[in-house]
Amino acid sequence: MAVGFPTKVDYNTGDVLSAQNMNDLSGTVNLLDGTQSAAGKNSIINSAMQVWQRGTTALAAATSAATGFTADRWQLYRASFTANCTGSRQLTADTVNLPNIQYGLRIQRTAGDTSTNFVRLVQTFETVNSIPLAGKTVTLSFYAKKGANYSPTNGALSVNVDYGTGTDQNYITGFTGNTNISATLPILTTTYQRFTASFTVPAAATQLATYFAFTPTGTAGANDWFEITGVQLEASTVASAFSTNGATVQAELSACQRYYYRAVADTTSQNFGAGQCFTITGGRVVVSYPVTMRTRPTSLEQSGTAADYQVRNIAGTGVALSVVPTYTALTTAQVAEVLFTVASGLVAGNATILFSANTSAYLGWSAEL
C-alpha cells in the first residue's frame, strides 16, 4: 500500500511542510481496507442487515405509509399497498463476493402472486442525517443478487435516490418537492455483485431517501426475489470499502433503537417494568428505552393477547391482564409508561411489576419517520 504522508522525513529549522510533501507520490489515496470500520462514513443505518427487532421472517409489506418495516429502518411497500410481498433475513453464506457480511435482506413476491404492482424497499433519512450530504458528490454502493424466478424484465433492479426540502417526512407519505437525483438499472445475477452510482446531492436537499425497486411480471414462482446487503451512501466520488454506520453491532443496534425499540420476552416471567397499582384492577408501569428515541413515540405495540402479560399482586403472584397493555400520554422520548388492567386481585397503592406470561409477549415503540 502506498504511503499517504508525509513523504519528507527529515526537517531542518525553517523548513515548510508543502503540499508536495503531503501528497502520495503515485497520486493514490489510501483507503481503509475491508476489515476496518469507519464509523459515520456510511449514512445508511442497518446497512448490513444486522438488526431485526420486528422479527426475521415473513415481514409483510406496508398496509399504510407508516407500516411495512422489515429489517430495522428498511420499509417495504407496493403500489396501492398491495400485499403478497415479504422481507426476511437470509444468511449470505458468501465470503467470496461479499466483504464478510453475515446477513442479507430478501424481498420476495409470494409464490402464485399475480399482481404486477411495483415493489419498493426504502430507507428514509431524517433531516439531521440528510443535511451533511447536501451539495456534495456522494456514492451509493450495495451488493445484490436475484432468485432463480426473479421476474422483472432483464433481471433488472431499479436503484434510486430522491431528495426533498421538507423536514423529517416519511418517503412513502411524500417529501415536499420530491425530486429524483439518481436512477440506475443494474442487472442482477444469482451471485452477489457490487453496484455503485455516484451523483451530486443538491444544496437545497433537507431529506434523502434511497430505494430499491422492481416491477414483477407474470405469476410469481417460488424464487421471485432479490437479496441486498452492504448498502453504503458516502460523501465520496468513488465507492470505498464497505463499513457499517456504527463501528460495532451495538452501535448499529443503538442507531436503530433511536427509531424503534421492541422489548421481547426471551423467557417466561421476563420483567418489562415496575410501577404502581392505582386501583384493584389496574395501574401503570414505566419502561426505560435503551437509548433516547428520535421523538416521542405515539403508539405502543404488543402481542394482541392480554393473557401474554401479567402483573404481581401483593403475594408476588402473577395476575393475568384482562386488557392488552395500553399506551399512555405520559410516554416520552426518554421513558415509556404502560397502562395495565386486570379483572381483580390488586391493592391500590401497592407497587407491582409487569412481566411476560410467555415468550409471545413483547412491547414496542416506534419513532420512525
Partner 1 sequence: MKYEYLHDEDGIKIYARIDDDNLCRVTCTEDNPDYLAWLEEQKPVKAPKVVDETAPE
Contact residues: partner 1, CB under 8 A: 63-67, 77-81, 117-120, 152-154, 156-158, 170, 172-173, 185, 213-215, 298-305, 324-330, 368
Nearest distance from C-beta of residue 280 to partner 1, angstroms: 19
Q: Say if residues 24 and 39 touch (Cβ distance below 8 Å).
A: no
Residue 12 CB burial class (10 angstroms; 0-12, 13-18, ≥19): exposed
Q: Which is nearer to partner 1, 100 or 299 (CB)?
A: 299
Inter-CA distances, 258 with 126, 237, 336, Å:
11, 29, 14
**C-alpha cell belonging to residue 281:** 384492577
Report the DSSP beta bridge partners of residue 199.
Answer: 138
Distance of CA 185 to the CA centre of its chain: 23
Inter-CA distances, 357 with 72, 146, 280, Å:
26, 41, 20
Map grid coordinates 439518481 to a residue: 182
Nearest distance from C-beta of residue 317 to partner 1, angstroms: 26
Nearest distance from C-beta of residue 331 to partner 1, angstroms: 9
Nearest distance from C-beta of residue 167 to partner 1, angstroms: 14
CA angle centred on 84, ends 109 and 217, rounded to 5°:
45
Longest CA pairwise span in the chain (Å): 86
Q: Which is nearer to partner 1, 201 or 338 (CB)?
A: 338
What DSSP character marks residue 188?
Answer: P
Q: Which is nearer to partner 1, 178 or 236 (CB)?
A: 178
CA distance 203 to 357: 53
Nearest distance from C-beta of residue 200 to partner 1, angstroms: 20
Nearest distance from C-beta of residue 180 to partner 1, angstroms: 12
Start-to-end CA span in the chain (Å):
43
Q: Which is nearer to partner 1, 208 or 213 (CB)?
A: 213
Q: Which is nearer to partner 1, 65 or 291 (CB)?
A: 65
Nearest distance from C-beta of residue 136 to partner 1, angstroms: 26
Nearest to 28 by CA among 54, 52, 58, 5: 5
Q: Which is nearer to partner 1, 103 or 340 (CB)?
A: 340
Q: Say if residues 292 and 334 touch (Cβ distance below 8 Å).
A: yes
Q: Which is nearer to partner 1, 319 or 367 (CB)?
A: 367
